[in-house]
Structure 1
Amino acid sequence: MDATDLDRRTQTRSGCIPPELVSRLLERGHADVVEQQSGRGEWFCALAWARLLGERDRQDDALEVLAPYLATGWWTAVVSAAELLEGWGRVDEAIEITRVRMEAGHPMALESYTRLLARHGRADEAFTLLRPHIGELSLAVALVDVATVAGRDEEAAALLALRAEHQCSDFPWCCRGLSRDMTTGLLATLLERRGRVDEAIALLHTDSSTTIDHREQLAALLARHGRVDELRAASAADDSRYAVQRLAGLLEERGDVEGAIAAYRQADGATVHAPHSAYDLAQLLARHGRGDEAIEVLRVRTDIRTGDDWLLHALSDLYLDQGRPHDGLVYLDALATAHEGEEDWELYGLRLRLIAARDGVDEAIARARSHSAGTTSYAARHVAELLTGAGRTEEAVVVLEQHAPANSHDLAACLIDLGRVEDALALLNRRTRGRGGPTDSRWHDESPF
């Protein structure tokens, strides 16, 4: 078992049994398969099986399952084991296995170790360990969180104030990712936690006109403290969506649905300039039984922004949810006519569920196969979804098998549903290893990309 290979396979989900299929195996009563595969280098099986053993009060057996993975030095296994131990109340052991990695110099261990200490009555010790690392972004965030538990907010604020004087010359290299803007955001967090909300707001207002992160943080802060009038003012001047989204969310929580709708339709035209706001408004309307209005909102938006495929997906979903597949197809036909020529598959695929809802699955499949891309692996996935949705899993398998190993996870899911577990495992165990053997990486936690 090699840490580099484990990391590559879990990050890319290739050559392994992914977590969604592990859950499927357990749901279908194949716990014995998960147990067996956990000892064969299948990390997601091992983690699921260890959790299951822990729930059965077999904690030591669970740790034995994870032991081979821990032995590789793989950080993901260390973190998972520590989380399990902490959840079982075996905090000292969780701290110990994290401490060992920290003292060995693992670049990610200090943050995990100190957060673990802070959660279990050793926040002051954690703060002291983090203090020298105030210049590193992730550790600065951890220090701010730990400071509140340790009662050392003032000290953390003083450290950040010194960092706030830094002028970035080559972000992120010159400041290791902790820019002046990020420092300002952390200072505002500390001010809010100390009850100095007005000061936090003023600090964020300083840069909110140019810094998107500050606009988002400011909107969230105003919403948390019920500052509706200030949120209205912020939403009128903010084209980043955050303020109007927070304002509408706050009003909806208070039962003022009309006010939330009005927030999205405010005079500065948030929905005209921001397609995301139109989407949010449509979802709000649909939640409150106003599906036809929701459809109209998205239709106006897609007429303006015909290249936003994700909006067309959302609109198609709304047509289905409202029981209007025919109207959805008429709209897509009009778009196709306006653009002339054949639609690419990404847009054509939107039709299939609408056709299935109106004319039946077989008609939708026939229409799919009539498209020039209808025999491709990505079209096969859409056809298989239609078939499985109609309870015709055997036919879905036939379709997907024609393109194996493409769509291997979809095919494996169908095989598991049919009880053909060995076939599913054979498909998934065609390991896709990276070029060459294990690297000389000290920690084996780098992304393969």
Structure 2
Amino acid sequence: MDASDLDYRARARTGCIPPELVARLLELGYIEEVERQAGCGEWFCAAEWARVLGGQDRQAEALEVLAPYLATGWWIAAEGTARLLEEWGRSEEAIALHRAHLTLARSSAETGGGLALASFARLLARHGRADEAFDLLQAHIDDWSLAKALVDVAQGAGRDEEAAGLLTARIPAGHECDSPWCCRGLEPQLAIGLLATVRERQGRVEEAIALLSTRQLTSFNGRDQLADLLARHNRIDELRAYADTEPLAHAAQCLAELLEERGDVDGAITVYRQAGEASVRRGNVAVELARLLARHDRYDEAIEVMRTLADAPGGAEDWIVDVLCTLYADQGRPQDAVAWLDDLKARRGKEEWDLFWIRLPLMAACGWVDEAVELTLAHPEGTTSYAAEHLARLLAGAGRAEDAVTALKQHAPANASTLAGYLIDLGRIDDALALLQHTSPPPPAVPTPHLWLDEPPF
């Protein structure tokens, strides 16, 4: 085994048995096969088999399974083994193991050095060594993931103020970045967000609000940090005012969620309706409103919200149509969804694949599987590899796994993982593994001159 090869296959999910199929093998009782593959370079089998052994109080055997992977110096193997040791109550061994492998983890661009360092620091902090974790991370404050880890461990170390000082130094006075690549190191907008986290934790909520109010954009990954902060501290009036001005409607979503939690469903609905009129994300707001209505069994209203959006000029985007049809199906009205799709097709004069596939589970719910298969094969894109995936799901759902395999085999090795899953369901394990374990060399590693940790002490 080779660390670069293991890393490539695990990240790309190619040439290996992926974790979801390992779980399926165990679920179906193929325990001996998982054990055998664990000894043949299949990392996900080894990790899961070691977990099973540990749960049977066979910890020594579990560590023997992982030993060949550890010997390669691969940091993922070290992290996984350390996690098991920690779960078994052997935290000092976990720390020693993780520490020993840190020098072998290069930069995140190559083998995950930054991630390994953050993982190690959090491990230290979980076991009363937050001060050591803080010392380890502070030299790397300019890396976003490590700065986040430093903020996470600072509280346990009693060093929130030091963390605040490091972050403040990376926020230029009066400077506003005009692009994500404007400043070297930790981007000031991210530093402000982390500093606000520290200030809120210290009870200095007004400072945290003031900090976040200076940012051009407070929304990341669909959440708005300022809105969430206001919600946590029950500052509803301020949250309402902010929601009125925040264009992405993430603050409105936060407010609606808070009102729904408090039982004010009508108030939450009103928030979404008002936000939808002004937001640049009108479709997203409509979807959240429809899901809110559906959660409270107001399906007719939810469907009306989505139909209004989908029937508007340019509104029938695939993700919008998918939500609408899912609502129909959840209410037990798949035929109405098919009828709506038929009407849309008639208006457009054709039905592209990104809308066509939505009708397949609906037709199956109506009992029209054979008709759906025939319609799929007649579609201009019905013989493509991506169409085969949908067709196979339709057939397997109708209990026709062999037909699903036939549909996918025509496009092998495309959709290899999906095809292997159906083969496993049919008990054809050797065929499934032969499909998954094709050999292809990993791309050459990108050289880097920088090591996160070159030599002890750490």
Instruction: Give 1:124 deviation, angstroms.
Output: 1.5
Percent of residue pairs identical: 56
Counterpart amino acid of residue 56 in structure 2? R
Do residues 145 (structure 1) and 145 (structure 2) align? Answer: no
Q: Is the 8 A contact 2:79 2:98 kept in 1?
A: yes
1:86-125 aligned within 5 A: 86-103=86-103, 106=106, 107-108=113-114, 109-125=116-132
Once the two structures are TM-superposed, the CA of residue 439 in structure 1 deviates from its matched residue by 7.5
Q: Provide the C-alpha distance between the structure 2 equivalents of 1:352 and 1:363, rounded to a whole number of angstroms.
A: 10
Aligned residues: 441
CA-to-partner distance for each residue in 1:323-345, whole Å, 9 max, x for gaps?
A: 222221222122222322x3222
After TM superposition, list the pairs within 5 Å mapping 1:73-84 onto structure 2.
73-84=73-84
Tell me the distance in 2 between the aligned counterparts of 1:65 and 1:203.
50
Structure 2 matches for 1:270-309, cutoff 5 A? 270=278, 273-304=281-312, 305-306=314-315, 308-309=317-318
* Contact map agreement 2:309 2:316 (CA 8 A) in 1: no
- The one of 320, 325, 333 equivalent to 1:324 is 333
Tell me the distance in 2 between the aligned counterparts of 1:188 and 1:323: 47
CA 1:415–1:170 in structure 2 vs 1: closer, same or farther (change >3 Å)? closer
Measure the CA separation in 2 of the matches of 1:159 and 1:423. Answer: 56
Name the residue aligned to 1:343: 351
Deviations 1:120-141 (A, max 9, x none): 1111222222233323222222
Residue 239 of structure 1: CA displacement?
1.5
Aligned equivalents of 2:15, 2:293: Cα separation in 1: 43
Q: Distance in 1 between matches of 2:180 and 2:76?
A: 29
CA–CA distance in structure 2, aligned partners of residues 252 and 278 of structure 1? 16
Q: Residues 359, 126 of structure 1: CA spacing in aligned structure 2 closer, same or farther, 3 A cutoff?
A: closer
5+ residue gaps in structure 1? Answer: none
Equivalent residues in 2 for 1:150-169 (5 A)?
150-165=157-172, 167=175
Q: Confirm or deny that 1:392 pairs with 2:396.
A: no
Q: Is the 8 A contact 2:53 2:59 kept in 1?
A: yes
Q: Residues 73-127 of structure 1, C-alpha deviation per residue, up to 9 Å, x if partnerless?
A: 1121111111111111111111112212334564323322222111111112222
Which amino acid is 1:223 matched to?
A: A
Moved over 6 A (4+): 438-445
2:75·2:102 contact (CA, 8 Å) conserved in 1? no
Give distance in 1, aligned partners of 2:414 and 2:217: 45
Q: CA deviation at 1:251?
A: 0.9
Cα offset for 1:175? 2.2
Q: Which stretch has the larger CA shift, 325-334 or 236-245? A: 325-334
Q: Which moved more, 1:420-429 or 1:31-40?
A: 420-429
| 2:134 maps to amino acid | F
Per-residue deviation, 1:173: 7.6
Match of 2:429 in 1: 421
Q: Which amino acid aligns with 2:202?
A: R
Inter-CA distance 356–57: structure 2 relative to 1 (3 Å threshold):
same
The CA distance in 2 between the partners of 1:403 and 1:133, in whole Å, is: 47
Task: Give the superposition deviation at 1:57.
Answer: 1.0
Q: For the structure 1 residues 274 and 8, does the alpha-carbon distance in structure 2 shift closer, same or farther, using more than 3 Å as the test? A: same
CA distance in 2 between counterparts of 1:316 and 1:375 reads 24
* Residue in 2 that maps onto 1:175: 184
CA contact (8 A) 2:276 2:286 kept: no
Task: Go from structure 1 to structure 2 and tell me whether the alpha carbon gap of 1:301 and 1:145 turns closer, same or farther (over 3 Å shift).
Answer: same
**What residue number does 1:191 align with?**
199
In 2, the alpha carbon distance for the partners of 1:95 and 1:267 equals: 49
Q: State the match for 2:211 in structure 1.
A: 203
SS of 1:331's partner is helix
Q: Is the 8 A contact 1:264 1:271 kept in 2?
A: no
Residues 145-164 of structure 1 show CA distances to partners (whole Å, capped at 9, x for unaligned) of 11111111122212222222
Instruction: Check conservation: 1:265, 1:271, Cα contact below 8 A.
Output: no
- Cα distance, 1:211 vs structure 2: 4.5
In angstroms, what is the RMSD of aligned CA positions?
2.5
The answer on whether the counterparts of 1:236 and 1:268 sit within 8 Å (CA) in structure 2 is no
- Give deviations 1:167-222, integer Å, cap 9, x for gaps: 5698548422x111111111110111011112211221122x54534981101111
Q: Deviations over 1:235-286 (max 9, x none)?
A: 1111212111111111111111111111101267157842111111111111
Q: Is the 8 A contact 2:249 2:281 kept in 1?
A: no
Mean Cα displacement is larger for which, 402-411 or 275-284? 402-411
Contact 1:264 1:270 in 2 (8 A): no
Distance 1:8 1:103, change over 3 A: closer
- Whether the 8 Å contact between 2:105 and 2:451 is mirrored in structure 1 is no
